[in-house]
Amino acid sequence: MDEGAEPTLVHLESVAYAYAEDVVLDQVTLGIDRRSLVGIVGPSGSGKTTLLKILGGVLDPIRGSRIAAAGMRIGYVPQVETVNWYFPVTVDEVVLMGSPERRIGIGYTKHERNRAHNLLHDLGIGHFEHRHIRELSGGQQQRVFIARALMADPDLVLLDEPMSGVDVKTRQDVLEILSDLTHQGVAVVLTTHDLNGVAAHLPYIVCVKGRVVAEGPPGETLVPSVLLETFGAEMELIEHEGHPIVIDKHPPTRSVGGR
């Protein structure tokens, strides 16, 4: 990352992780600076979510070290597929879970409620605060969990596949929200396998396939050799208004019935 530009919030040094005997990450060295917006890119099973969880301190590496800034607060946005949408909670209750105040008893302070209300309002879903989480659209649900992450007043926000299953408008809105966050001093790290819709629009990318294959701006990392090593598929690149566009190199498709 930009050396010396911003203080490092969390640093991984030669980190490895395994589920039982299956090593999914090895020799990962990565630093996340304040105000950075980083995309972790890779195919399914490449270790993206594991890397995100190690950054967040959910998983402890089996080798290597994780050094985090003292008192660093983290907001985490899970994959929507992992959320129990039938759990009996309303939108405001979910957001309030993120409050950093450690209070005893049922209920929240007026200050906490106002903050949750304002966050939801800022994210454009203020009028849904008393609805059940299942009653919202995919994009609105994503914003609820972003609001919960922000409720923690975080230094670092981690998002696991935040653009999965959302429409183009929502994707653009979420990217804008995340970009705004970095201007407020927050570091943002997200995972994605969407190269054109997400990764190409981020300032910094980490390509992962069990290890860090490459890291840097999209112009340096979204190149055929790196993509072949990361995704195991041949891809071509064209450029449009300064953004690289990745195109699959499909093998010739055989026609059916001679047509």
Partner 1 sequence: MEVLLDPFRFEFFRNGLIVATISGGICALIGVYVVLRNMSYIGHGLSHAIFGGAVASFLVGINFYLGAGAWGFASALMVNRVARRRSIGADAAIGVITTASFAFGVALISRNAGFTRNFEAALFGNVLGVNRSDVIIVTVVAAAVAGILIALYRPMLFLTFDADVASVFGVPTARLDALFALLLAATVIATMQVLGVTLIAAALVIPPVVARMVTDRFRTMLAISVVVGVASGFVGMYLSFYLDIASGASIVLTQASVFVLVYIATSRGRSGRMRLAGVSSH
Q: Give the nearest distance from C-beta 86 to partner 1 in angstroms.
A: 3
Considering the rule CB under 8 A, would residue 228 count as an interface residue with partner 1? no
Considering the rule CB under 8 A, would residue 89 count as an interface residue with partner 1? yes
Q: Which is nearer to partner 1, 68 or 213 (CB)?
A: 68
**Tokens standing for residue 10:** 């969390």
| Cβ–Cβ under 8 Å, residues 159 and 188 | yes
Residue from the set 39, 42, 47, 56 that interacts with partner 1 by CB under 8 A: 56
Residue reference for tokens 């055929």: 224
Residue from the set 66, 132, 201, 211 that interacts with partner 1 by CB under 8 A: 132
Which one of 89-97, 173-181, 220-228, 239-247 is the stretch in contact with partner 1 (CB under 8 A)? Answer: 89-97
Q: Which is nearer to partner 1, 85 or 111 (CB)?
A: 85
Residues 160-199 that bind partner 1 (CB under 8 A): none
Residue from the set 38, 40, 54, 94 that interacts with partner 1 by CB under 8 A: 94
- Which of 138, 212, 145 is closest to 178 using CA atoms? 145
Considering the rule CB under 8 A, would residue 6 count as an interface residue with partner 1? no
Q: Give the nearest distance from C-beta 99 to partner 1 in angstroms.
A: 8
Instruction: Enumerate the H helices of the chain as residue ranges.
Output: 48-56, 91-97, 110-122, 138-151, 168-183, 218-221, 224-231
β-bridge mates for residue 75, sequence order: 157
Letters for 7-46 (x = contact with partner 1 by CB under 8 A, - = none) are: -------------x--------------------------
For residues 91-103, one letter each, b for 16 or more C-beta atoms within 10 angstroms of the residue's C-beta and e for the rest, the string is bbbbbbebbeeee
DSSP-assigned letters across all residues of 27-80: EEEEEEETT-EEEEE--TTSSHHHHHHHHHTSS--SEEEEEE-TT--EEEE--G
